[in-house]
Amino acid sequence: MDLQTPISNAGRFYKMYAHRLEKLGIITLEDFLYHIPSRYENYSLISRINELQAGEIVTIQATVTEIKNEFTKNGKRLQKAKVEDGTGEIDVIWFNQPFLINVIRKGDLLSLSGKVDWFSRRLVLQSPEYETINDDSPTIHTGRFVPIYPETKGVSSKWLRRQIYKTLQEYRQNLLEYIPDSIIQRNNFYAFSEAIEKAHFPKNLEEARKARERLAFDELFLLQLAALKRRSIWEKQLVGHHFTITTFQKQIEEFWEKLPFELTNAQKKAVKDIFADLASKKPMNRLLEGDVGSGKTVVSAIAMYIAHLNGFQSVLMAPTEILVLQHYQTISKLLEPFGVKVGLRTGAHKGKDEADILVGTHAVLSDEINFKKLGLVVIDEQQRFGVEQRSIIRQKGKNPHLLTMTATPIPRTVALTLYGDLDLSYLDEMPKGRKKIKTWLVRSEKRESAYEWIKKQIENGDQVFIICPFIEESETMQTIKAAQKEYQRLQKEVFPNLKLGLLHGRLKAKEKDGVLQKFRDKELDILVATPVVEVGIDIPNATIILIEASERFGLAQLHQLRGRVGRGEKQSYCLLFTEIKNSQTIERIRAMETMHVGAELAEFDLRLRGPGELYGTMQHGVKQLKIASFSDFPLIEKTRREAEKIFPKLSDYPYLWKKLKYLTTKEVSPD
């Protein structure tokens, strides 16, 4: 047995707990050590009984003279002990723990930590932590700073504390230092084993802080190294398809000329980056990050055209059927005039893989799809796909070029940590003529007048999205029922004279297509939708978006939704409805009124709500950090610098190498 032993193989006792511990992310014995306390209880003040005062949190060391079960006046069970320490005597009480009289016995020498309080007009120690004093080992639940852990049903802090202590005792000598000495010196860090130990059992809060500082560093430092390693693996991949660009100057010119607009400078720069990648021997691995509406699709279209001109096929994969249908239309319109055959593949459309460009949902991952000569893979809204899906699609060609796209505003520093193996292009500029979307928070008392205002706008020819509340992460029946109900209510009670349509993820492909087409053709005034329209829908004539229960969304997500309007020259509006009165909630939503850049909103939300919201629910395949935080930008930068200093000479640091290898085989695929 060692630290890598899974809990389920660590003996009968642990086996019983394996399932419960999994909920806390504890899979191996080592994970116990990385289960870091959420806080500490200060029980370090050791007092004599004759000095105790009501209200104090103290520890006493005393001998039990009596223990018994009693009933209170209102019939509750109570356990009462008398203890004395030579200076005096005090009662100790617990509630509803009748087993205690079998655990604690007369004559035991106990260490007791808890609050001194009045009970039945006597000073007592109430519901304290307790443990027997033993010459061989220090106390762990009392008489010190005591760690309090994230718990789950059937796994208390006290239980965890005992196991963690035991694991530390047994394996301390296995916690070998793996970080280069120079880094430890420069940063004045604790040694590794010391950091682990003091994160759990510090003498004071300063020790706990220093321990966490070291462990947070390690966590991000290893992520940085893993990213650098993936990058170097990628760079070593040799590849056959370097595309020629110069030969096709004429065709490229024609493509630009046929576009109804000129590219923004940011788009031009991204295209230049991509051309350089495509022309190089190693496969492209580029993330195109751009706020909603910044024009990523056309950039991917030119890349696919280049692939076609070089005699290669491309595949464009997007997460929802609705988005795929729209991409199919856009790409066809852009490229079919140049003789490019575009195919469509979703659950419902069985387009062929013989097309020059295949546009599809994850249906393109199916075994049946085989390309003759796949040269370029484009993944839109890449954060919606797992690492595995990304690698399946790439394996349908021989080291094809890869272009991933996202509108999730990930701060640059964080993107480098997560995707250090990618090259990044940012579309940080909007197409000309776009106006800021006027955004208002609308409280319940203003609901009716907001509806009236919308009616007037529709009379002037505007079209409106109404987004129903976000009920659950994935689109469950519950969400759909709520949307159907709201659609009926709006049609009957609010907008009886207008034409409404309903869009949700469970409609058949044909129906979705039909509703969207009607909305595009202005046969519908209002499109009531579940949050599925969040990604990618592009209907320039829609200028108003109303979002129900806006407090349930992250700001980055609200920004994505808002991006459904403001796509043309006309002034657009976003109305954020909420029934919540809480001032913090209001303030958070209000940020939408003044901030209009996705990355800024994401950082603001990150500081307010922590990274869980942004990266936990949106970034599939991204590891949750245990100790460090993605909002700690200085630490992210520092770990990056330190990692670059020693990479790739990792062979000088065998333990670091081992740790990294263990980490990367466990959770980082070469993708």
Q: Which residues contact ligand ADP (rule: CB under 6 A)?
A: 261, 263-264, 267, 290, 292-298, 407, 431, 536, 538, 540, 567
Residue 536 lies near Mg ion (rule: CB under 5 A): yes
Termini Cα distance of the chain = 32
Which residue, 262 or 459, is less far from ligand ADP as judged by CB?
A: 262
Q: How many helices (H) and strands (E) does the chain have?
A: 22, 20
Q: Minimum distance between the CB of residue 258 and ligand ADP, rounded to whole angstroms?
A: 13
Cα torsion for 208, 211, 216, 217, to the nearest 10°? 150
Mark out the alpha helices in 445-550 (DSSP H runs).
447-459, 477-489, 509-520
User: Among 22-30, 346-354, 355-363, 534-542, which window interacts with Mg ion (CB under 5 A)?
Assistant: 534-542
C-beta separation of 418 from 410 below 8 A: yes
Q: Minimum distance between the CB of residue 602 and ligand ADP, rounded to whole angstroms?
A: 15
Residue 420 lies near Mg ion (rule: CB under 5 A): no
Token pair listed for 284: 């492209």
Which residue, 396 or 567, is less far from ligand ADP as judged by CB?
A: 567
User: Among 23-31, 191-199, 535-543, 556-564, which window interacts with Mg ion (CB under 5 A)?
Assistant: 535-543
Choose the contact partner of 538 out of ligand ADP, Mg ion, none; CB within 5 to 8 A by kind: ligand ADP
Q: Which of 403, 356, 7, 407 is nearest to 167 (CA)?
A: 7
Q: Minimum distance between the CB of residue 535 and ligand ADP, rounded to whole angstroms?
A: 9
**Nearest-angstrom CA–CA distance, 588 and 578:** 12
Q: How many Cα atoms sit within 13 Å of 418 on the Cβ side?
A: 22
Which residue, 212 or 384, is less far from Mg ion as judged by CB?
A: 384
**Nearest-angstrom CA–CA distance, 1 and 4:** 8
**Nearest-angstrom CA–CA distance, 557 and 563:** 10
User: Among 233-241, 256-264, 531-539, 641-649, which window interacts with Mg ion (CB under 5 A)?
Assistant: 531-539
Choose the contact partner of 283 out of ligand ADP, Mg ion, none; CB within 5 to 8 A by kind: none
Which residue, 295 or 343, is less far from ligand ADP as judged by CB?
A: 295
DSSP annotation of 552: G
C-beta separation of 46 from 59 below 8 A: yes
Q: Compute the radius of gyration of the chain from its Cα atoms.
A: 31
Q: Minimum distance between the CB of residue 508 and ligand ADP, rounded to whole angstroms?
A: 24
75, burial (CB in 10 Å: exposed 0-12, middle 13-18, buried 19+): exposed
**Nearest-angstrom CA–CA distance, 514 and 497:** 21
Which residue, 351 or 598, is less far from ligand ADP as judged by CB?
A: 598
Sequence-ordered list of residues with C-beta below 8 angstroms from that of 517, at least 6 positions apart, any chain: none
Find the residue with minimal CB distance to ligand ADP: 295
Choose the contact partner of 214 out of Mg ion, ligand ADP, none; CB within 5 to 8 A by kind: none
Residue labelled with tokens 């006493």: 60
Q: Minimum distance between the CB of residue 333 and Mg ion, rounded to whole angstroms?
A: 15
Q: Minimum distance between the CB of residue 292 and ligand ADP, rounded to whole angstroms?
A: 4
Token pair listed for 583: 């001032």
Which residue, 407 or 500, is less far from ligand ADP as judged by CB?
A: 407
Q: Minimum distance between the CB of residue 259 and ligand ADP, rounded to whole angstroms?
A: 8
Strand partners, 423: 286
Q: Minimum distance between the CB of residue 421 and Mg ion, rounded to whole angstroms?
A: 23
C-beta separation of 545 from 454 below 8 A: no
Which residue, 327 or 362, is less far from ligand ADP as judged by CB?
A: 327
Which residue, 81 or 318, is less far from Mg ion as judged by CB?
A: 318
498, burial (CB in 10 Å: exposed 0-12, middle 13-18, buried 19+): middle
Find the residue with minimal CB distance to Mg ion: 536
C-beta separation of 361 from 320 below 8 A: yes
Q: Minimum distance between the CB of residue 380 and Mg ion, rounded to whole angstroms?
A: 6
Which residue, 147 or 536, is less far from ligand ADP as judged by CB?
A: 536
478, burial (CB in 10 Å: exposed 0-12, middle 13-18, buried 19+): exposed
Choose the contact partner of 143 out of ligand ADP, Mg ion, none; CB within 5 to 8 A by kind: none
**Nearest-angstrom CA–CA distance, 114 and 117:** 9
Q: Minimum distance between the CB of residue 326 and Mg ion, rounded to whole angstroms?
A: 9
Choose the contact partner of 298 out of ligand ADP, Mg ion, none; CB within 5 to 8 A by kind: ligand ADP
User: What does the buried/exposed string (b/e) look like for 111-135 if buried means 16 or more CB atoms within 10 Å of the residue's CB?
Assistant: bbbbebeeeeeeebbbbbbbbebee
Which residue, 505 or 536, is less far from Mg ion as judged by CB?
A: 536
Maximum pairwise Cα distance, the chain:
98
Q: Minimum distance between the CB of residue 190 and Mg ion, rounded to whole angstroms?
A: 47
Q: Minimum distance between the CB of residue 273 and ligand ADP, rounded to whole angstroms?
A: 16
DSSP annotation of 283: P
Which residue, 24 or 263, is less far from ligand ADP as judged by CB?
A: 263
Q: Which of 93, 64, 91, 65 is nearest to 78 (CA)?
A: 93
Choose the contact partner of 431 out of ligand ADP, Mg ion, none; CB within 5 to 8 A by kind: ligand ADP
Q: Is 143 in a helix, a strand, or coil?
A: coil
Q: Minimum distance between the CB of residue 295 and Mg ion, rounded to whole angstroms?
A: 9
Q: Is 522 in a helix, a strand, or coil?
A: coil
Which residue, 163 or 264, is less far from ligand ADP as judged by CB?
A: 264
Choose the contact partner of 264 out of Mg ion, ligand ADP, none; CB within 5 to 8 A by kind: ligand ADP
Which residue, 531 or 536, is less far from Mg ion as judged by CB?
A: 536
* Residues engaged in binding Mg ion (CB under 5 A): 536
